[in-house]
Amino acid sequence: MIQLIAKRLGIMVLTMLVVSIILFLALELNIESVAIKVLGPYSSDEQRQFWLEANGYTRPVLERYLSWAGNFMMGDFGESVRFRVPVSDILWDRLSNTLILAAATFGIMIPLSILLGILSGMKEGSFLDRVISLICIITTSIPEFASAVFLSAIFVFSLKWLPGTSSMLMGFDVMQLILPAMVLIGYGFGYVARMTRASMAEVMATHYIRTAVLKGLPYHKVIFKHALRNALIAPFTIIMLQINWLLSGVIVVEYAFAYKGFGALLLEASLNNDVYLIEACTMVAVCAAVLTQLIADIGYSYLNPRIRFS
Amino acid sequence: MKNASIFLKVFSGIALIRESRVAMVGAIICLFWLFVAVFASVLAPYDPVSTILPMQGPMTDNPAGGTFWLGTDLLGRDILSRIIYGTQTVLLYAPLATFCAYLVGIVMGLVGGYYGGKVDTALSFISNVILSFPVLVLYILIIATIGASGVNIILAVTFASAPGIFRIVRGLTMDLRNREYVSAAQTRGENALWVMFVEILPNARGPLIVDACLRMGYVIITIGVLGFLGMGLPPPTPDWGGMISEARKLFLVFPHMAVFPCIAISSLVLGLNLLSDGLREISLRD
Q: Please state, in angstroms and rounded to a whole number, the distance separating the CA atoms of residues B269 and B180.
A: 39
| B185 within 8 A of B202, measured Cβ to Cβ | no
Please list every residue in chain B whose beta carbon sits closer than 8 Å to the beta carbon of residue A157: 251-252, 255
Q: What is the pLDDT of residue A308?
A: 64
Kindly list the domain boundaries of chain B, sorted by start residue.
Answer: 2-285
pLDDT, one tens digit per residue, over B226-254 is 888 888 777 777 788 778 887 777 777 77
pLDDT one-digit tens code per residue, A92-130: 888 888 888 888 888 999 899 989 988 888 888 888 888
| Whether the predicted model's global pTM rises above the 0.90 cut | no
CB contact (8 A) between residue B241 and residue A255: no
Q: What is the pLDDT of residues B172-186, one digit of tens each?
A: 888 888 888 888 888
B258:A266 CB<8 A = no
Nearest CA in chain A to B222: A143
Across chain B, mean pLDDT equals 81
Which of A150, A247, A271 is facing B259, going by the closest CB pair? A150
pLDDT category at B1 given cuts 50, 70, 90 is: very low
Sign of the CA dihedral running A160, A164, A168, A170: negative
Mean pLDDT of B105-117: 88
Q: From chain B, pick out residues whose CB is under 8 angstroms from the CB of A8.
A: none
Q: Do the Cβ atoms of A141 and B269 come within 8 Å?
A: yes
Partner-chain residue, chosen from B129, B255, B265, that has the shortest CB–CB distance to A18 = B129
Three-state SS letters, B203-246: HHHHHHHHHHHHHHHHHHHHHHHHHHCCCCCCCCCCCHHHHHHH
Query: In which element (H, E) is residue B61 found?
Result: strand B60-61
d(CA A275, CA A23): 9
Nearest CA in chain B to A290: B132
pLDDT digits (tens, 9 = 90+) for B210-220: 888 888 888 98
* pLDDT on residue B98: 92
Q: Given this model, what pLDDT does residue B148 score?
A: 78
Least confident window among A145-154, A285-294, B58-67? B58-67
How many Å apart are CA A256 and CA B34, to the nearest integer?
Answer: 30
Q: How close, in Å, is residue A129 to chain B by CA atoms?
A: 14
**Residue B67 three-state SS:** strand
Closest CA to B206 of B105, B282, B100: B282
Q: What's the CA gap between B32 and A280, in Å, rounded?
A: 45
**SS3 assignment, position B68:** strand
With an 8 Å Cβ cutoff, the interface of chain B facing chain A consists of 128-129, 132-137, 140-141, 144-145, 217, 221, 224-225, 228-229, 241, 244, 248, 251-252, 255, 258-259, 262-263, 265-267, 269-270, 273-274, 277
Query: How far apart are the C-alpha atoms of B158 and B104, rounded to whole Å?
Result: 7
The complex scores an ipTM of: 0.81
* Helix (H), strand (E), coil (C) string for chain A: CHHHHHHHHHHHHHHHHHHHHHHHHHHHCCCHHHHHHHHCCCCCHHHHHHHHHHCCCCCCHHHHHHHHHHHHHCCCCCECCCCCCEHHHHHHHHHHHHHHHHHHHHHHHHHHHHHHHHHHHHCCCCHHHHHHHHHHHHHHHCCHHHHHHHHHHHHHHHCCCCCCCCCCCCCCCHHHHHHHHHHHHHHHHHHHHHHHHHHHHHHHCCHHHHHHHHCCCCHHHHHHHHHHHHHCHHHHHHHHHHHHHHHHHHHHHHHHHCCCCHHHHHHHHHHCCCHHHHHHHHHHHHHHHHHHHHHHHHHHHHHCHHHHCC
**CATH superfamily of domain region B2-285:** MetI-like (1.10.3720.10)
Is B113 within 8 Å of B171 (Cβ atoms)? yes
Q: Which of A87-91, A297-301, B90-94 has the highest mean pLDDT?
A: B90-94
Contact criterion met (CB below 8 Å) for A129 and A123: yes
Residue from A270, A272, A284, A294 to probe the interface with B (highest B Cβ count within 10 Å): A270
Chain B residues with CB under 8 Å of A156 CB are 252
The C-alpha atoms of residue A199 and residue A243 are separated, in whole angstroms, by 20
Distance CA B283, CA B1 (A): 27
Q: How confident is the model at residue B104 (pLDDT cuts 50, 70, 90)?
A: very high
